[in-house]
Structure 1
Amino acid sequence: MDFETSDLVQDMILFHCPRSSELPHLDLYMDQVISFISETLNCCYLDADDKILTPAMINNYVKQGIVSPSKNKKYTTHHLMYLIVVCVFKKMLSIPEICALIRIQIQTYPIEVAYDYFCVELENALRNTFLQKEALMPVVATKETDQTRLLRSTVLAFANKLYIQKFIQYHEQYIITKKMSAYLI
């Protein structure tokens, strides 16, 4: 069986990130949140034993201000949205970078719109990467193999991570400059 036809690839191509309207509308206890997010993102982690989310992680995210504290030990759909985004991005970005990304998105869009956009983009990125459909990036290898596709995916990940970091840097600098100019007036 080729990598392209493996269950691993098929899981990525068929991955569905639940939209805001598909998230549980009842508030959940921490263990229910962990179970829901672990089930949702299980295929995005390499090892089934990987801890996608733990109580300690949630408490840490609350302490760092990424996620608001629970109310009466229950978590809302907004908590789920934030935690899903954090669990996906923590594989490539630092916590301050994730906070900045979330802040940028929710300054621009209502949280449900920003989250649903994240879901669509995540699914598209996974499909494009795992189906190798990068139309704008021509194939330069003389023979396409699993290894050449792996290299291509790695450089795309690096390029995308760098793009995100540079965008955050630019946005943060823009806010600082804007605040400084407001003080000078």
Structure 2
Amino acid sequence: MDKLQADIYEWGESLADFHLPRWDELPELDLYMDQVITLVDRYLSPVIRIDKHTLLTSSMVNNYVKKGMIPPPEKKRYTRRHVAFLIAITLLKQVLTIPEIKNGILFQGKAVGIRNAYNLFCEEQETAVQHVCLQAMGQLEHQEPQKIAVEYLAVKAATVSFANKLFAENVIEIESQYLEKGESHD
């Protein structure tokens, strides 16, 4: 394995255990805006490069409230439900428009309930990230095509899109470091 392949392998290995908190793992206590932003940043910084993409700001949160994507805070405090919405929105906005995200969240919430929709999203996102990690490590196993229920098609497609974007960005970043150093990967 050459150095370029080794660096891509190392990146894949670093994310192989990526985990998004499930509903029951999110804080039960209500949080203030700065605490919510810090928490979402901590959960998502392994997969969203802060130097390339703004994760979450207070003005973004306020806009999501104004657009009806998340409920307004109660007495300036945010609940587990807010944190779940903000994790999903922050990831999804990497590959979808805000109106698409809003419609998707509304549909999934009505189809299976907010808690189940969020947990399903987390599972699908982790699976998609693990898939690209295996690809990066050259260990991609062949999977038989699975029938996906129609109400889960958008979640599956969005999470796979995010994972593939993550993979492409990181491979390009690693390759560009080689170009800057004038190194060849042979």
TM-score, structure 2 normalization: 0.69
Match of 2:90 in 1: 87
Q: Larger RCO: Structure 1 or Structure 2 (Cα < 8 Å, ≥ 6 residues apart)?
A: 2
Q: CA deviation at 1:104?
A: 1.4
Aligned counterpart in structure 1 of residue 44 of structure 2, from 41, 45, 53:
41
Unaligned ranges ≥5, structure 2: 145-159, 166-186
Match of 1:115 in 2: 118
- How has the CA–CA distance of structure 1 residues 134 and 68 changed in structure 2, closer, same or farther, with 3 Å as cutoff? farther
Aligned counterpart in structure 1 of residue 32 of structure 2, from 10, 26, 29:
29
SS in 2 for 1:74: coil
Q: How many equivalent residue pairs?
A: 141
The answer as to 2:15 corresponding to 1:12 is yes
Q: CA deviation at 1:5?
A: 2.8
Unaligned ranges ≥5, structure 1: 138-155, 162-185
**Partner amino acid for 2:119?**
D
Q: Determine what percentage of the aligned residue pairs are the same residue.
A: 39
* Contact 2:12/2:132, CA 8 A, preserved across alignment: no
SS in 1 for 2:46: helix
- How has the CA–CA distance of structure 1 residues 116 and 61 changed in structure 2, closer, same or farther, with 3 Å as cutoff? same
Q: CA deviation at 1:44?
A: 1.2
Higher-Rg structure is 1
Match of 2:104 in 1: 101
Q: 4+ runs of 1 displaced by more than 6 Å?
A: none
* Contact 1:61/1:67, CA 8 A, preserved across alignment: yes
Match of 1:77 in 2: 80
The answer as to 2:62 corresponding to 1:59 is yes
Match of 1:166 in 2: none
Q: CA deviation at 1:136?
A: 5.0
* Contact 1:62/1:69, CA 8 A, preserved across alignment: yes
- Stretch of structure 1 that moved more, 39-48 or 61-70: 39-48
Q: CA deviation at 1:3?
A: 3.2
The CA RMSD measured in Å over matched residues stands at 2.3
* Contact 1:12/1:43, CA 8 A, preserved across alignment: yes
Q: In 2, Cα distance between the equivalents of 1:81 and 1:134?
A: 31
* Contact 1:128/1:134, CA 8 A, preserved across alignment: no
SS in 1 for 2:45: helix
Cα-to-partner distance string for 1:92-148 (whole Å, 9 max, x where unaligned): 0000000111111111112111111111110000001221236259xxxxxxxxxxx
